[in-house]
Amino acid sequence: MLTAVAKKGTSKTKVASETSIRDELQHAKNIDITYLLIGEDGYPEQLAAIADAPPILTILGDASLLTKRSIAVVGARNSSAGGLKFTRSICGALSEYGFVIVSGMARGIDTVAHQASVAGGTIACLAGGIDVVYPQENTPLYEAIVQNGLLISEMAPGTKPLARHFPRRNRIISGLSAGLLVVEAARKSGSLITARYAAEQGREVFAVPGSPLDPRAQGTNQLIKDGAALIQSADDIIAELDAMPLFQKQPQQGSHTKPNAHINMHTEIQANPGGIHSEPTPGPAETSQKALANILELLNPVPAHIDDIVRISGIPAEKLLIEFTELELAGDILRHTGGKYSRIPPKNE
């Protein structure tokens, strides 16, 4: 990327050739990509304040969103129906109030956060090149964000997302925002990496509590134990952020400014290893089979209504009822009154 030009004086960076720079600039011009250089007009002030701000960003979409108040929302890829429903509700409310929702366009919580806020303005931070859609099933969402929101990346156009890119992407998600909301997260997840970055950057950290029987709530519950604000509605976040200035400055090393919300920086946080970026793009038939096979992932110990499962999974109610019957007989789920179902945690969880 053109980042190499910005680092030309360093000994460890290979400078891009003039030909490759010209090719990249022409490609950027063809698809309306804009470059933002740190220290120049247009570069987001709140991101520039963090210690390891990207020297160059590429953006595509509505750049004015970078000047508005924003809240980052992240969570599990294999999110529960309840988690997705809560995310849709709270992001919709925050968007209506005027906050820009920032997330990473991953499956699960990220996707729903963008969908719920794209009409009011959302920012998607990409781990690969700004012209590379990942995951592929989010192509319609990607196109909607280009029209009504903003895409942002520090990678060169055309770069395929690799596992090592995602943790670096996470610091941009938190760096662009006044605060970070974690909806669902296991103890070892990328969402907790983002929470660590947010705390180090002096951002407010919020977390949604969950059942102690659901592994997807263990990370968020630990964040709350470590000092993150417990969130039950959009009002909880609005009350905190309304009292803050538009942009925050990065706490200086050695200063008396404490990490936000007393987040324990020694909390066990590491990326979810293995296979995140090697998933093949399924066809329609494969998607349906996969949805049925992974129906348990949409359930947790908190009962969810079948209508919510139908809407989130796209599986017809009659097929879900057949699947639920088999899962109930197998002792994997419980049926409750009012058309609700919950998951019975495996004995080893």
102-127 pLDDT, tens digit each: 999 999 999 999 999 999 999 999 99
Query: With contact defined as beta carbons under 8 Å apart, do 83 and 76 qualify?
Result: yes
Query: With contact defined as beta carbons under 8 Å apart, do 24 and 129 qualify?
Result: no
| Alpha-carbon gap, residue 146 to 78, rounded angstroms | 26
Query: With contact defined as beta carbons under 8 Å apart, do 220 and 209 qualify?
Result: yes
Query: With contact defined as beta carbons under 8 Å apart, do 205 and 229 qualify?
Result: yes
The residue with greater pLDDT, 227 or 273, is 227
| Alpha-carbon gap, residue 193 to 201, rounded angstroms | 12
Query: What confidence tier does 284 reach under pLDDT thresholds 50, 70, 90?
Result: very low
pTM here is: 0.71
85-99, 162-176, 214-228, 321-335: segment of lowest average pLDDT: 321-335
Q: Which residues pair with 336 in a beta bridge?
A: 340
3-12, 96-105, 179-188, 248-257: segment of lowest average pLDDT: 248-257
| Alpha-carbon gap, residue 321 to 305, rounded angstroms | 12
Q: Are strands 150-153 and 56-61 parallel, antiparallel or unpaired?
A: antiparallel
CB-based contacts of 332, cutoff 8 Å, min separation 6: 296, 343, 344
Q: Is the pLDDT of residue 53 over 60?
A: yes
Q: Are strands 150-153 and 304-305 parallel, antiparallel or unpaired?
A: unpaired
Report the pLDDT value the prediction gives residue 149, as an integer from 0 to 100: 97
| Segment 14-36 mean pLDDT | 73
77-81, 179-183, 308-312: segment of lowest average pLDDT: 308-312
The residue with greater pLDDT, 277 or 214, is 214
Report the pLDDT value the prediction gives residue 28, as an integer from 0 to 100: 65
Helix, strand or coil, per DSSP, at residue 145: helix
Report the pLDDT value the prediction gives residue 13, as an integer from 0 to 100: 53
CB-based contacts of 236, cutoff 8 Å, min separation 6: 206, 229, 230
Tokens encoding 232: 């039950």
Reduce the secondary structure of 195-254 to three states and give it as a string: HHHHHHCCCEEEECCCCCCCHHHHHHHHHHHCCCEECCCHHHHHHHHCCCCCCCCCCCCC
CA 9 to chain CA centroid, nearest Å: 34
Q: Which residue ranges form the domains of the chain, and what is each CATH number? A: 58-246 (3.40.50.450), 284-343 (1.10.10.10)
Q: How would you label 313-335 residue by residue, b for 16+ Cβ within 10 Å and e otherwise?
A: bebeeeebeebbeebeeeebbee
| 234 φ, ψ (degrees, to nearest 5) | -60, -30
Closest CA to 99 of 1, 179, 3: 179
Report the pLDDT value the prediction gives residue 267, as an integer from 0 to 100: 40
Report the pLDDT value the prediction gives residue 271, as an integer from 0 to 100: 36
| Cis peptide bond N-terminal to 301, omega within 30 | no
| Alpha-carbon gap, residue 226 to 336, rounded angstroms | 34
Report the pLDDT value the prediction gives residue 22, as an integer from 0 to 100: 72
Tokens encoding 57: 């960003």
